[in-house]
Amino acid sequence: MKPYLAAALQMTSVPDLAKNLAQAEELIDLATRRGAELITLPENFSFLGDESVKFKRAEEICTASEKFIKTMAQRYRITLLGGGYPVPSPDGRTYNRALLVNANGEELTRYDKVHLFDVNLPDGNTYQESKEVTSGSALPKVHSSPRLGNLGISVCYDVRFPELYRQLSKEGAEVLIVPAAFTAFTGKDHWQVLLQARAIENTCYVIAPAQTGFHNARRQTHGHAMIIDPWGITLADAGDPVGMAIAEINPSRLEQVRRQMPSLQHRVFG
């Protein structure tokens, strides 16, 4: 791995497939112009707001999302992560899939979200992801890139389950990617501290693209797409507006932190 720029894009996706993909391409174009080689899109980048509509249009959204990810990667000559989109599953529901592709538009790795967000929040919003989403059956795999390092992917609610990231670090992950549509209610207290915890305990970079703002009359997300270094320092924070967090991923910094704090070598229980 050599030093390179990574971008965590921040979107306000809505129940309009074409509009979302246009917004995503505009941000990809901007990130590429700024020199990013690894660009990451948030969870639900292609459709967000009305879950019942998304479910009914899952096949259409899936086809368009995968075509978009591969086309953008080829057009802009980047490695691109599509952070989460619906894929029809055999049980009549959908998987929530993240897909990583290279500059030739070839699939590098995929991951179907394992931890599903079934939560009643004090703000009155209820989320029942498992109603329409099938849990993935396998942990994410680490993709090793000579240029970008060892990349481990996850999706949103996964960030609350440190054992998933421990498994990725045991498999050699150096960069953890956490695309999300984190709720505004939980995000204000938990988003940054969870990302920093995953970075610190695994001495990894964390790249976290995010959704922000209102997606329909009720659904609001936290924003603050971030890139965090292996010491837990926030290198870039997109704040509230549509945009991006962009920062350097530097192998010498990774080596320095792991030398100063060799906690991965000191594990006793797994």
177 within 8 A of 152, measured Cβ to Cβ: yes
pLDDT for 35 equals 98
Q: What is the pTM of this model?
A: 0.96
H, E, C per residue of the chain? CCCEEEEEEEECCCCCHHHHHHHHHHHHHHHHHCCEEEEECCCCCCCCCCHHHHHHCHHHHHHHHHHHHHHHHHHHCCEEEEEEEEEECCCCCEEEEEEEECCCCCEEEEEECCCCCEEECCCCCEEEHHHCECCCCCCCCEEEECCCEEEEECCHHHHHCHHHHHHHHHCCCCEEECCECCEHHHHHHHHHHHHHHHHHHHCCEEEECEEEEECCCCCEEECCCEEECCCCCEEEECCCCCEEEEEEECHHHHHHHHHHCCHHHHCCCC
167 within a domain of the structure (yes/no): yes
Catalytic residue (one of 62, 70, 129, 156) = 156
14 within a domain of the structure (yes/no): yes
Looking at per-residue pLDDT, the higher value among 129 and 164 belongs to 164
Query: Is residue 113 annotated as a catalytic residue, yes or no?
Result: yes
Instruction: Please say if the pLDDT value at position 82 is more than 90.
Output: yes
203 within a domain of the structure (yes/no): yes
Query: Is residue 156 annotated as a catalytic residue, yes or no?
Result: yes
Instruction: Please say if the pLDDT value at position 84 is more than 90.
Output: yes
114 within a domain of the structure (yes/no): yes
**Domain span at 132:** 4-263
Q: What confidence tens digit (pLDDT) does each residue in 186-236 have?
A: 999 999 999 999 999 999 999 999 999 998 877 889 999 999 999 999 999
Q: Which has the minimum average pLDDT: 88-97, 126-135, 165-174, 242-251?
A: 126-135
222 within a domain of the structure (yes/no): yes
Task: Report the CATH number that the domain containing residue 164 is assigned in CATH.
Answer: 3.60.110.10
Q: What confidence tens digit (pLDDT) does each residue in 178-188 have?
A: 999 999 999 99
Catalytic residue (one of 37, 66, 70, 113) = 113
269 within a domain of the structure (yes/no): no
108 within a domain of the structure (yes/no): yes
Q: How many CB atoms lie within 10 A of CB 193?
A: 10
Catalytic residue (one of 43, 51, 66, 174) = 43
**Domain count of the fold of the chain:** 1
268 within a domain of the structure (yes/no): no
